[in-house]
Structures are given as C-alpha cells and as structure tokens.
Structure 1
Amino acid sequence: MEDLLAKKTAMLASCNEEKIVLLGGSSVLYGFNTDEIQRRLGKPTFNAGVNVGLGFRYLLDHVEPHLKPGDHVLLPLEFNQYTNPMYYVFGFGIDTFVHREYWKNCRKYRRKGKLLLISLKHARSSATPEKLARRKVATLTETGCYLGLDTQLRDPATLKAIPFPETFQETDTMKEIAAFMTRCQANNIRVTLLPPVFYAREVNTAYLEKMYAYFGETISPELFRLEASEVYDSVYHANQAGQMRVTNRLIEQLEEPQNRKELNQI
C-alpha cells in the first residue's frame, strides 16, 4: 500500500499541466479507467485512489501538495470515508511498520492499541497465496488505475453490507473534507463531490441525503452503483465491465456539465 501511494504521489508531482485528479479509496482505484478519461477528454488525468482505510487526511497529506491552480479534483469518496477517522488503520500501519515514525506521529491516531491489532490481523490475512496472486493479476497503468480485471472473484451475495449510521451526525472527517474544499476554492482548484462506485443491496438514502446536503450538494448515490455482475471482489471494487460503464458515465458528466442534474436523477 505504501508503494502504491508513493507511485501515485510521483505521478502527480511529475505533471506540470492543469490536470484532473480522482481522489479516494480503492473504489476509485478499481472503479475509474483514468487512461480512458484522459484519452477522451484530452487532459492529464490521474487516479489517486488507494484505500479508504488510510483515512482522508492521511491521503491528503500526500496528494494536496501536488495540486495546482486550474486542477479539477473529483471526490467519489466511499461512504465509510465520511465516518472513518481522518488518520486510520492503514495509515497507522505504514507509519508504524514502514516509516517507523509511529511515536513521532502518534497523536494523529485514536485507540492506537486497537489499530495495532487490526493492522497485524490484516497483514496476516493479506499474505495468503490467493490474495498475493490476485494483486499480481491487476495492471497498474501510468495514470494510476487498475485494468484487466475481467473476472468476478466473489459472489456479491456473500459480501458484507456497507454499514450506515442510523442518523446523520457531523464527523471530524466531514469537517476536514469541507475545509479541503474551501482551501481548493481559494486556490482556484475546482472540486466536485461525487458518490462512490459501489455495490449494495440496500442503502440508507435518508442518511446519505443529509450527508451530501451538509456539503451543499444534491447527489444521487445511485450514479455509480454497480450491478451484481459488475463486482470484482468487494463492495467497492468493480470488475472490467463495471469500470467501463461507470467510467463512461463519468466522462459524459465531465463532457456535458449541464447534464449533471439529469445524470444524478438516474
């Protein structure tokens, strides 16, 4: 994960032109073909998706220094991103086990003992032959997206449902997202908040309406919702068919901004 984050940071740092940046977790990584977006729109486009478990602020610490006036940042953030801590379990793991800077940065993290246990458990479960082979199948392109995942590795019926709070409540991460959007506006960087690429049998529509209203947006969470046949191996991971469909839908929205309202109502 640290290697993936470093590659994506280097991509952004190397671009001196105005660019489109898709920022988020693995639903961005798997869900949007930024090679195709770049080809169709004729503008440098980068997929900065890594993993929702880093925490929004951890990802931002690496990405925001490479944003410049004239850039357009798209935020198709996973629903969990809004409620997770700003610095979360995988950021904690990278700081602790890779950078060895845990004690230097330990004030970032809450419930550090629990994060340590989750990090160790995940490291063990991620090292299985099946998961190692799965990661080798994906091709990371020069724009930062995964291509070539033309299969379906998990039955969608076996996936855990996305957890939604019963009622809306402002979180520290929501405040951080709003502050980021304000900073970007002040620096002539355009930001578009979008729903994530996801699969779910049920969603808490009332909660999501209030959450997006918090940011002054009217967004349909259905915009990039996956069909069962379009799931790769997670509720936030699209296979090639799903990626192609939602990428085309995003391109349509970027090509014709006046159609955004109609698209959100689909």
Structure 2
Amino acid sequence: MFNFDSIRNMEGLLAKKTMMLASCDEEKIVLLGGSSVLYGFNTDDIQRSLGKPVFNVGVNVGLGFRYLLDSVEPHLKPGDQILLPLEFNQYTNPVYYVFGFGIDTFIYRQYWRNRGKYKQKWKLLLISLKHAKSSATPEKLAKRKVATLTETGCYLGLNTQLRDPDSLKAIPFPETFQETNAMKEIAAFVKRCKEDNIRVTLLPPVFYAKEVPIAYLEKIYAYFGESIAPDLFQLDASEVYDSVYHANQAGQTRVTNRLIQLLEDLKIERNEKRYEK
C-alpha cells in the first residue's frame, strides 16, 4: 500500500508558508530550512519577544534548497532578515531532491514539465515509493495529526519523546570537505539577498548527534565566510522528539530562547556599529 499523504503534507506546508510571506507587507524575520526549523524554533515566542513579524519556513530537507527557494524567494523584500539554520545534509543534497520530485510527480503530476531539475530520476522514484509505503503505517499516520501548526509556521505541542535517540539513524557526515552544487546555490542566494538589502545569517541546525565532526563543519561555515559554533543548537538526548532533526517541546523552548538572545545580541552589535559611524 502506498500513501502519499506525507508528501502531500509537505506540499501543503510549503503552500501555507508561502502564503504567510506573501501576505506580510512589513519587514520580517524568516527562518528557512527543513524540518529541524519546523520542529526546532517556536517562532510565536520569537515574534512576541522581538516585536516584529517572524515566520518559520521549515518544511523538509528532502525538498532540496532550490526547490524551497523557488516558492519562497519571490516574497522576500528589502529590509527582511533571513536566518538559515540549515540541516547539515542540506549542504550535500541535490538542490532539487527527492520530496520535491515526489511533489512534482505524485501531487502536481507535472513530472515531464519539471524533469530537467532532477538527477538520478529512477533512484528518486524508488526512494519516493519506499517513503510512501513506509508512511502508510498506523503509527506514522497518527503522528502526523499530533502537532499543531501555528500562524507563524512552527509546530507546537510535541511534549513527549517518541524515539530513543540511540535507536535513530545517525546524521551522515562526509569524511572530507568538498564544495557541492548546494553550497554554490546557497552562496548565490546569500549574494542576491545582499544586493537586495536583505540580511542573511547562516546558523547551525537544531540536531542531535553523539559525535559531531567539528573540523568538517567549521570548513563548511568558513566557505561562507562565517564563524559559527556548529553545536550551538545541539539537543540533549531528552530533547529529541522522533528524529535527529526534530526537537520536542523542551528542546524547542531551550534553543528558541538561545536564538532570541542571539538575535538581541546581533541587534545591539548592529546599533553600536551604526552609532560609531
């Protein structure tokens, strides 16, 4: 049995979040990324704390970064602030990836129009079908109904722990640093934003891992001219919901507060530099 509700849900999330951005005429803060953004940051709290519109545009890392941008970028405006707490896999995945392929093929039924975007199409087809089959389990069908999506685009209400962190598949880190097409795409996006007076801050994701290859990750951020602590939003074992990239409520609260403090510090720093001039 194949069930494409999970892929259909990703398409629905992206559509809702695109509408949120399109309907906002004010300068805004936008968190872009995959499901670690969706689960990891309480943008309701960030909005209340900072007193300006904040949107959580996290869907799934498996869409591919360019697939996400195709919907989102037209609604970014001068004065906006973009936060990129991208999953580590985002830097190595194809820019149009498996769940983008799934949406185009099984939901929009427009594969032939979009086929030029995708590499290794048969592989993507098999992965999509495997995902559709595994998503039909009663547990996964029930789990999709638990979380509450807020008006700013984040998930709330996940105050339990569905998976033992030790049982989860670890994040696959490459052994050595190598420039990828995704890195080039992200760098090009940052450049476009800068030219349009849109501020971009690259951040690490919310994640859980026993071992973190700090040296490798520092090379990734150095590629973008950033100096970031890769473990800034690393989760404790008790803060994992059901995936290495999904925080439960306790983890979400802690990392959200940490991000709020970071944004307040950055605001103070910018004001001081403006005053010095």
TM-score range, shorter chain: over 0.9
Question: 1:258 Cα shift?
Answer: 7.4
Determine whether 1:196 maps to 2:202. no
| 1:212-241, Cα deviation, whole Å (9 max, x unpaired) | 100001111110000000000000000000
Determine whether 1:26 maps to 2:35. yes
Task: Tell me the equivalent position of 1:66.
Answer: 75
Distance 1:247 1:121 in 2: 34
Task: Tell me the equivalent position of 1:126.
Answer: 135
Residue of structure 2 aligned with 1:46, choices 55, 69, 74:
55
Question: 1:259 Cα shift?
Answer: 8.5
Question: 1:129 Cα shift?
Answer: 1.3
Distance 1:138 1:132 in 2: 12
CA contact (8 A) 1:78 1:195 kept: yes
Task: Tell me the equivalent position of 2:100.
Answer: 91
Distance 2:249 2:41 in 1: 10
Task: Tell me the equivalent position of 2:126.
Answer: 117
Q: Which amino acid aligns with 2:192?
A: R
Determine whether 1:80 maps to 2:89. yes
Q: Which amino acid aligns with 2:102?
A: G
- Shifted more, 109-118 versus 202-211: the winner is 202-211
CA contact (8 A) 1:230 1:238 kept: yes
Determine whether 1:168 maps to 2:173. no
CA contact (8 A) 1:253 1:259 kept: no
Distance 1:127 1:181 in 2: 38
| 1:90-114, Cα deviation, whole Å (9 max, x unpaired) | 0000001111111111111000000
**Deviating 4+ runs (over 6 angstroms):** none
5+ long unaligned stretches in structure 1: 261-266
5+ long unaligned stretches in structure 2: 1-9, 270-277
| 1:74-103, Cα deviation, whole Å (9 max, x unpaired) | 000000000000000000000011111111
Distance 2:138 2:121 in 1: 29
> Could you state the TM-score of these two structures normalised by the residue count of structure 1?
0.96
> Could you state the TM-score of these two structures normalised by the residue count of structure 2?
0.92
- Shifted more, 231-240 versus 103-112: the winner is 103-112
Determine whether 1:246 maps to 2:252. no
**What RMSD, in angstroms, separates the aligned Cα atoms of the two structures?**
1.0
| 1:144-163, Cα deviation, whole Å (9 max, x unpaired) | 00000000000001011111
Percent of aligned pairs with the same residue?
81
